[in-house]
Each structure stands twice: as C-alpha cells, then as structure tokens.
Amino acid sequence: MGRTLAEKVWDDHVVRRAEGEPDLLFIDLHLLHEVTSPQAFDGLRQAGRQVRRLDLTIATEDHNTPTLDIDKPIADPVSRAQLETLRKNCADFGVRLHPLGDVEQGVVHVVGPQLGLTQPGTTVVCGDSHTSTHGAFGALAFGIGTSQVEHVLATQTLPLARPKTMAITVEGELPDEVTAKDLILAIIARIGTGGGQGYILEYRGPAIEKLSMEARMTICNMSIEAGARAGMIAPDATTFDYLRGRDHAPEGEDWDAAVAYWKTLRSDDDAVFDAEVVIDAAELAPFVTWGTNPGQGAPLSASVPDPASYEDASERHAAEKALEYMGLTAGQPLREINVDTVFVGSCTNGRIEDLRNAASVLDGRKVADGVRMLVVPGSVRVALQAVAEGLDKVFTEAGAEWRHAGCSMCLGMNPDQLAPGERSASTSNRNFEGRQGKGGRTHLVSPQVAAATAVLGRLASPADLSDTRTPAGVR
Amino acid sequence: MEAFTTHTGRAVPLRRSNVDTDQIIPAHWLKKVTRDGFEDGLFEAWRKDENFVLNRPERQGASVLVAGPDFGTGSSREHAVWALQNFGFKAVISSRFADIFRGNSLKNGLLTVVLEQPVVDALWELTEADPTAEVTVDLEARQVRAEGVTADFELDENARWRLLNGLDDISLTLQNEADIAAYEAARSAFKPRTITA
C-alpha cells in the first residue's frame, strides 16, 4: 500500500521504533524565540547538558519586540528582561541569534523560510503553535511546548506517537476575490476547531497547486486553528523556485540530490488517508470571523448567526458567549460591523505578497477617519523589500502606520494592543477573547479585506470600494 | 516530573467549550522566565467577575477541573499547564483536549483525562449540586470515581508508565544515544544547517 506525504517524511526521520513506545523522531531544524525557551535553557543548565546540534538550531526575537523606537531601550522591563535572557542563553550555549536590530530578525516563521532553512522533507519544530506554517514546503512542522524545546535542545529528537492523516482536497479554482486566508477560514469553519485534532492535514488539489508559497504558508499556518498540529502541501516547481538561491538552500550537486528527493515527496496514488474532506473552491467568497474562536466565521455577505440555530448545546452556548463578548446581535449583517483598528501582519499574513495585496487595495485611497491601521512586516527582510517596492509609501500616504517587524498586535505582548471594547479587523490567526488586548474584539480577515475595511471603516471587501479611489494624479 | 498515581479532591465545574490557552494564561504573563508564579494569571480575565466559578468560596482548594470540549486549544504555551498546577490543579477532565496542551500536561504530571461528554455532564451536575463532592482520578486503575459516577478512561501504556513513575523524558531518550548518533551519521549532505563550518 502506498504512503501519504506525511507518512513518508515521518518514516524518514525515525531514529528508533519499538513496540509499545512512541517513535523517536529526528528533528532537522529547531527554531527558538524568547517566550518559550528560557525555562528550557534553565533545564539544560540544571542537568549540566549542552545543545546537541547547534548547526540545526537558530533563534530570533519576535513576540515581545516593539515596532516603534527599536533603537531605544525597551520600555517594558519584563519584556526587556525576557529578550536579555534569550541573548544570554544564546551566548552561553553558542546558538545563532538574530536579535532586534539585525537584518535577519523577524517573526520566526517568516525568517526560517526566507533564509531557505525550511526545506521539503525536513522536520521543523518550534515552541510556537504556528510552526505548522513550514508545512507549506512539504516539511513536517509542528509546535511544541517548553519541555519539548528542552528535549530537542538536548537530544535533537522527540518521542512522538504517529498522528493520523487527513486529506483536504480543494477542487476547482478560487474565484478572483478569494484568497488563501478566506480558504483556510472557510476550511476551519467547516471542520471546526477540533476537526483536525490528532491528524496531520495535507492540503491538495488544483486550487492548492496554483497557490504561491506565501499563500501556501497562510494555509498551513492556520492548521493549528483546526486543531491539527501540522498541515502539509506536497513540494512542486513553485516550492523549488522559491528555494533556489536562498542563503541555506543546497547548491550544485547537493541541489540536484535534494530536488531528486523532494520530487518523491508526494502522497502515492494508492495511499489511504484516515479522513478526507473535499472543498469546492468555486463556492468560496471573502470570509471573516464573527466570534471568539477561528471556527466561528462566515462569508462576508452573511449576517451574524443566531445562536438558537445551533443544534449542538455546546456550540449554541459558545455562540451565545461569543456574541456577548463581541458586542454583536444575531442577524446583524457582517458588512455593517464598524471597526476601530486594522492590523496587517503576523506569521499568517505578514509576508511580502500579503503587503502587496493590502497595498494594491489601499493605493490611491485613504484610511477612514477614526480608524487606526497598523502595517507590521513579518521580518526586516520583508520590510526592506516592501520599501524597495514603495509599498511603505502607499501605506503611509493612505494614513496607515508603517512599523518595524515582529508579532505585534497578533498577540499584544508588545505595546501594540487593542483597548477594552475596541474592535479590529486583523490578518492574524486568533480571535480569542483578549488576544489582541484585554477586552479587545477581533475579526480575522485577509489582507485585502483588511485594507478595504480600513477604507470604509466597516468590514468590507475590495469589491465594495468601487468609487473610493482618488483619480490618478490627484492624490 | 512529579509522579501521578491517584488523586482525590473537590472539583471546579467549568461549563465552557473551546477554553483556549489565551484564556488559561494571557500572553502578558508569558514574559516571565520561570516555571512558577503563574497562579494569579490563571483565567485572569474571567476571574475579574466575582461570580466566576473559580472565585466562589465553595471552590477554594478544589484540585480537579472539569471542563467542556476542546480544552487547551490555541498556543503551545506550556505556561498554561504551569498556571493550572501553580493554582493547585492536579487533574483536568474534558471530552476533548487540544493536542499540544495534552502533550504539555502529561510532561509536567498534570493528568488530563478524556471522558465522554455525558460523563462530564454527570460530573458537572454532581459538583454543581454539591460543591463538597469529591472526585477521584485513579491513574493506576485508569478510572474516575465520584458519587454515582464510575468511568474508565484511556491513556496509552507508555504515557501512563512515565507518569506513574515521574520519569524524565530526556534521560530516557539519552539511553538511546547510539541510535541518535547512527541516524546523524547517515543523514543526507543536502540537509540544511544554520551554522556552516
């Protein structure tokens, strides 16, 4: 019987397999950041252990970093202490670190791929649930807790029970206005926040094959929001083209050997998935969330659902709680929801293509009065590229704030937060209560919907903007 | 890791589904660099409401959390487990846990027990009607017991053995160091490296 992509990558990394035990899996790449690593380094110290493979380990600073005044000392002493702890740990143990101010600094899941470290058929871990992002390259990539971070630092392996596999096949072609973000939000709404639990998802089908690497990363990034630890897409010419020439991509004979291996990383025709979901791309539309978990979403053209319409008692209760927290009423059209803040950025939608997409909508338009729009590039490299293309000017001329790279308002560990009761349209990945600031209300959206929403001050798609652009030459 | 054999304590019924890790411990608490001192951050936003179940006088000292489905979704933060333990919880019962949270809990000796929703419902009804009712989580027998409730639960033998003995995963893995070295020696030359010699 054939094997799935996930099974092939898994099998290639088994260090030890024994009856009644989890497989011991080798880890090809370990990404570190300041939040989930300090206790792991402490554990190493207490046990007198070293980092086993410094050459497979890399760190950056992202969760706490400010996006303004990065040349000045960090105002929050607790954030500063956490960054200083990472710097000390990396220096003590010899780990390569890209700190704030370094040209390779940025959100860890943006940095790995752009350096060419994320490659097909590798195992990638990080103490961050959005490590699933790297699955876009056909890597088996998943978030781990701090105990596991320590385990990987010490052994370069993890004992893991093999998950089941689920195929998510997206047939047809995405309509013009529909993005990867809309697609993944629709998938999560369909299978639920627990639907992928225990599975590695494999996104496949014609609509997936046509996506760019950036779009594939957006999809795989949010696998965790469906409960799946990992999501994967089989590598193809798009993947190889993205990798060729990057800092850590193989060269010469190594490149040829790598590509030959990478081409084998496809689910066999006779492979059997434990579960299968089929989505018709043609039926999709711009999608937004209305609730407090990423599965509580609907097409932008819909209205806030009535909790009474849910048959399942637990879902009904969750919807009631969500509407109460979000300050929404059943039946309210989603397009009539006003926002205070628009956030473009994060490991979900902070890459160059995302910024281009948002800028293309904002070009020649203005952010609505009373609306604050933050654009936070995913990495310094993304920021430099955006500046080279003049995107920063498009944003600032529209009235948006152009910031430095980091996780920023996705989780508000730095000063970029919502005030209580404030409402955002955000290109990030979680609309949990208080995620973007205590009492803040989050609607998850694509970069295009974020930009259109900024212009109108209410949830909107670019199609709603027909007459808001200042004629060329006038702006 | 702290060993877990059996625990009996009063319960906190938490009638909520999709309790994400941002609710269990908000992000601003994640700036701490220790594994302790997270108890005041546990469910911080909800605890501002004096009627929240954890604030009720009759729940003080309770050590078993009985929650709705999909407990622990979201972020990989192990701080969520530490916060529950720092507060005094020894076990969490739910019909479904998020994968990463579950893995983290078992690595720290916080027993996460999966029971069918009707059993969770029964535990909710029992402990809401009688806050002094005790719940026993018995890992040796893989069974949860309370007045009118006896329910077996599953936990794979390997995880159970590690918990019962409070074993250190890293030490166990390093017993197989020779296997790791052999694997490393056979890895392809084209695999990426963060540091080039």
Domain spans of chain B? 6-185
Q: Chain A to chain B, count of Cβ pairs less than 8 Å apart?
A: 211
Contact flag B158-A155 (C-beta cutoff 8 Å): no
Q: Rounded mean pLDDT of A398-411?
A: 97
Which of A243, A275, A307 is where one domain is finished?
A275
A407 is in an annotated binding site: yes
Tell whether A67 is covered by a domain.
Answer: yes
Instruction: Please report, rounded to a whole number, the percentage of residues in chain A having pLDDT higher than 90.
Output: 96
Tell whether A202 is covered by a domain.
Answer: yes
A347 is in an annotated binding site: yes
Contact flag B76-A63 (C-beta cutoff 8 Å): no
Gap between the Cα atoms of A447 and A430, Å rounded: 15
Q: How many domains does chain A have?
A: 2
Same-domain status, A335 and A187: no
What pLDDT, on a 0 to 100 scale, did the predictor assign at position A475? 41
Q: List the CATH number of the domain containing A408.
A: 3.30.499.10
A179 — pLDDT class (breaks 50, 70, 90) = very high
Q: Are B13 and B53 in contact (CB under 8 A)?
A: yes
Tell whether A475 is covered by a domain.
Answer: no
The complex's ipTM?
0.95
Out of A58, A151, A261, the one facing B194 most closely (by C-beta) is A58
Backbone CA torsion sign across A7, A129, A62, A394: positive
Mean pLDDT, chain B, as a whole number?
Answer: 96
Gap between the Cα atoms of A320 and A158, Å rounded: 40
pLDDT at A473 over 80: no
Gap between the Cα atoms of A450 and A452, Å rounded: 6
Which residues, other chains included, contact B113 with Cβ-Cβ below 8 Å and sequence gap of 6+?
Answer: B91, B92, B93, B94, B137, B144, B153, B155
DSSP of B155-169: --HHHHHHHHHT--H
Tell whether A471 is covered by a domain.
Answer: no
The interface residues of chain B toward chain A in range 51-90, judged by CB-CB distance below 8 A, are 68-70, 73-79, 81
The domain of A296 spans 288-465
Q: Nearest Cα to A234, choosing from A222, A251, A220?
A: A220
Instruction: State the DSSP code for A62.
Output: -
Which of A250, A275, A300 is where one domain is finished?
A275
pLDDT at A470 over 80: no
Same-domain status, A229 and A115: yes
Query: Side chain identity at A364, as an amino acid letter?
Result: G
Same-domain status, A322 and A177: no
What pLDDT, on a 0 to 100 scale, did the predictor assign at position B196? 79
Contact flag B68-A430 (C-beta cutoff 8 Å): no
Instruction: State the DSSP code for A463.
Output: G
Strand order across the A164-171 sheet: A230-232, A199-204, A164-171, A275-280
Rounded to 5°, the CA angle A13-A232-A173 comes to 155
What pLDDT, on a 0 to 100 scale, did the predictor assign at position B77? 96
Chain A closest-CA separation from residue B56 CA (Å): 20
Same-domain status, A97 and A230: yes
Backbone φ/ψ region at A60: left (φ over 0), alpha (ψ -120 to 50), beta:
beta
What pLDDT, on a 0 to 100 scale, did the predictor assign at position A129? 97
What pLDDT, on a 0 to 100 scale, did the predictor assign at position A16? 98
What is the per-residue pLDDT across A295-314, written as a single tens digit (0 to 9) for each?
999 999 999 999 999 998 88
Tell whether A459 is covered by a domain.
Answer: yes
Q: Rounded mean pLDDT of A356-375?
A: 98
Give the pTM: 0.96
Same-domain status, A267 and A411: no
Out of B27, B33, B180, the one facing A156 most closely (by C-beta) is B180
All residues of chain A having their beta carbon less than 8 Å from the beta carbon of residue B18 are: 193, 292-293, 318
Q: Nearest Cα to A154, choosing from A260, A37, A294?
A: A37
All residues of chain B having their beta carbon less than 8 Å from the beta carbon of residue A36 are: 30, 76-78
Contact flag A119-B191 (C-beta cutoff 8 Å): yes
Contact flag A147-B15 (C-beta cutoff 8 Å): no
Same-domain status, A224 and A123: yes
Contact flag A128-B189 (C-beta cutoff 8 Å): no
Number of separate helices (H) and strands (E) present in chain B: 8, 7
Gap between the Cα atoms of A470 and A453, Å rounded: 17
Tell whether A281 is covered by a domain.
Answer: no
What is the per-residue pLDDT across B106-136, written as a single tens digit (0 to 9) for each?
999 999 999 999 999 999 999 999 999 999 9
Tell whether A332 is covered by a domain.
Answer: yes
User: Which residue in chain A has the smallest CA separation from B184?
Assistant: A26
DSSP of A175-212: -TT--HHHHHHHHHHHH-TTTTTTEEEEEESHHHHTS-
Gap between the Cα atoms of A413 and B73, Å rounded: 19
Contact flag B28-A293 (C-beta cutoff 8 Å): no
Q: Say which residue the tokens 């043609």 belong to.
A: A282
What pLDDT, on a 0 to 100 scale, did the predictor assign at position B197? 63
pLDDT at B33 over 80: yes
Mean pLDDT, chain A, as a whole number?
Answer: 96
Tell how far CA A92 is from the center of its chain: 30
What pLDDT, on a 0 to 100 scale, did the predictor assign at position A472? 52
Contact flag A26-B183 (C-beta cutoff 8 Å): yes
What pLDDT, on a 0 to 100 scale, did the predictor assign at position B1? 79
Same-domain status, A257 and A326: no
Q: Rounded mean pLDDT of A71-90?
A: 94
User: How far lies B74's CA from each of A326, B20, B98, B105, in Å?
Assistant: 19, 6, 8, 14
State the best of A25, A44, A50, A146 to mutate against chain B, taking most chain B CBs within 10 Å: A146
Which of A206, A241, A275 is where one domain is finished?
A275
Q: Say which residue the tokens 């009759």 belong to.
A: B58
A471 — pLDDT class (breaks 50, 70, 90) = low
CATH says B6-185 is which class?
alpha beta
Strand order across the A401-402 sheet: A401-402, A372-375, A341-344, A423-426, A441-444
Instruction: Please report, rounded to a whole number, the percentage of residues in chain B having pLDDT higher than 70.
Output: 99
User: Which residue in chain A has the smallest CA separation from B180?
Assistant: A15
Gap between the Cα atoms of A342 and A409, Å rounded: 10
A90 is in an annotated binding site: no
What pLDDT, on a 0 to 100 scale, did the predictor assign at position A466? 82
Q: Rounded mean pLDDT of A168-190?
A: 97
Query: Side chain identity at B151, as an amino acid letter?
Result: A
Same-domain status, A180 and A52: yes
Same-domain status, A218 and A87: yes
B17 and A CB contact within 8 Å:
yes
Q: Which long-range contacts (CB under 8 A, 24 or more apart) does A315-322 make?
A: A315/B17, A317/B15, A317/B16, A317/B17, A318/A291, A318/A293, A318/B16, A318/B17, A318/B18, A319/A291, A321/A292, A321/B16, A322/A290, A322/A291, A322/A292, A322/A293, A322/A296
pLDDT at A205 over 70: yes
What pLDDT, on a 0 to 100 scale, did the predictor assign at position A474? 46
